[in-house]
Chains A and B, each alone.
Chain A
């Protein structure tokens, strides 16, 4: 059986044992059942279900950390009268390939304050990004590729 299906069944069992049919107990059951399945993961053989969920959670946490740091940076620039900005439009070569990966990557780049994705080249190999803080174009490229893009590829493949 598919581990995800089993996870849902266990969550329903949890809901019945607790005796409350609410979305809250279902969510708690999903978490508990996932932990139980995770401890018995060797019995399931090769399944992406166990390796992907922690990666997704790590990705979300990483993303929110970046979101808050970058927001504070831009906020500091807005409240202080002096401009620290060094904006530029940077061509970032893409390792992500499919439509959904490129869309997600461009969306996450735009959501991080200080960066705004402008266009993808027709051959889908380059993403053009407008950024507020470009000290050095190559360093900026590396940070984006080794941070967000690497993690996104880990999650998606």
Chain B
């Protein structure tokens, strides 16, 4: 029973990681790629860690898994934000189908 439950978590987690890897190849520009990959892989690694702690049912392992998840959720968005920001100021082009860019016509043009 425990094996099945933790297997489901592990499978779901690896599925999300696989999808984010496909996302890197398929998405049209840097921003959509960042959107698709960082988050799906964060959730994926989180699910894999939950699956591991469900299988071992050990407090030491569960607490370490929880700590890894917390730090992952703290650091991953900062990295994604910095890459996205650097790309925008470095004039990496947006996808041609991007509908609106309210950042481009912001009133004070600082930072460029």
Measured CB to CB, the residues of A under 8 A from B are 22-24, 67-68, 70-71, 74-75, 77-79, 83, 85-91, 106-108, 110-119, 121-122, 126, 128, 130-132, 134, 137
Contact = CB atoms under 8 A, between A and B. Distances in A.
Interface in B72-95: 73-74, 76-78, 80-81, 84-85, 88, 94-95
A110 B32 CA distance: 12
Given A75-B16, A78-B19, A118-B85, A87 B99 contact: yes
B14 interface: no
Interface of B: 16, 19-20, 22-23, 26-28, 31-32, 34-36, 38-40, 42-43, 59, 63, 73-74, 76-78, 80-81, 84-85, 88, 94-95, 97-104, 106, 108, 110-111
A111 B23 CA distance: 16
Given A70-B39, A131-B35, 19 more contacts: A71-B16, A74-B40, A87-B95, A88-B99, A89-B100, A90-B100, A91-B102, A106-B81, A107-B78, A108-B77, A110-B38, A110-B78, A111-B73, A116-B80, A118-B81, A118-B85, A118-B88, A119-B88, A121-B108
Contacts of A106: 77, 81
Nearest to B23: A78
B22 A89 contact: no
Nearest to B15: A75
Contacts of A122: 108, 110
Contacts of B38: 110
Given A67-B39, A111-B42, A118-B84, A74 B23 contact: yes
Contact of A90 (B74, B84, B94, B102): B102
Contacts of B22: 78-79
B99 A116 contact: no
B107 to A, nearest CB: 9
A128 B103 contact: yes
A111 B76 contact: yes
B58 to A, nearest CB: 10
Contact of A137 (B26, B36, B42, B100): B100
A113 B84 contact: no
A116 B31 contact: yes
A30 to B, nearest CB: 14
B35 A115 contact: yes
Nearest to A140: B100
Nearest to B105: A91
A118 B103 CA distance: 9
